[in-house]
Structure 1
Amino acid sequence: MIEWNGRKYRCPVEVSMDVLSGKWKCLMPWHLHDGTKRYKELERIVPGVSQKMLTQQLKELERDGLLFRTVYPEVPPRVEYTLTDLGNSAYPILEMMHMWGVNQLGLVDRPA
């Protein structure tokens, strides 16, 4: 058994699946790789995600150490999300997923 972040796993692939699985979860580090984003920016970038689901998945990514959440003491409140080093380390995996998707769709030289 492997223990990480208070959870037990049978193999390292389970850790990756646990941290990155979720309908929208992979998209957060994918889009944050370009730089810090506010909550509303992420909401616009990922059309179709509900506020509840976006909030939940951002909290899980923060809990697992993939992103930092910064709250500024302003009115209205400003919240920004930035990838951690761990979050940035997942980017090559996401690039491979992107390329796999491009290949499956038969797309060539089209932007993400």
Structure 2
Amino acid sequence: MTDGPSTTRQRDETKVTEQPALTTSTGREWLILGALLAAVSLAVLLPLSGMRVDLPAAGAGVVLLLLIGMGVARAAIPRRRARLITLAVLFGLMALVSLATVLIAATAALG
């Protein structure tokens, strides 16, 4: 019988940081979703570049660089958890850059 708390850590899969996508995944899912997000982003950003070339084209370039960064991170980071968190952050940045670029370009087109 032990008097103190147990040293084995219970996993709570309802916590965001304990989700399988951040703990046990190979990272392939992040790359697939990243490629899909990049495709959708480019399908929106490239037609916008006809209205205003500089910003949507730069946003599309950043999206592609983030997708390439996801591939490099998956291949180069040996620790699974660090690799998965890096992929998640890069995916989030890709979504943020895409949304911000579209909103800024749309606002500029209206004004």
Structure 1 and Structure 2 fold alike (TM over 0.5): no
Question: Between Structure 1 and Structure 2, whose CA radius of gyration is higher?
Answer: 2
The structure with the greater share of residues assigned to strand is 1
Q: TM-score, normalised by structure 2?
A: 0.26
Q: More relative contact order in 1 or in 2 (CA 8 Å, sep 6+)?
A: 2
Q: TM-score, normalised by structure 1?
A: 0.25
The structure with the greater share of residues assigned to helix is 2
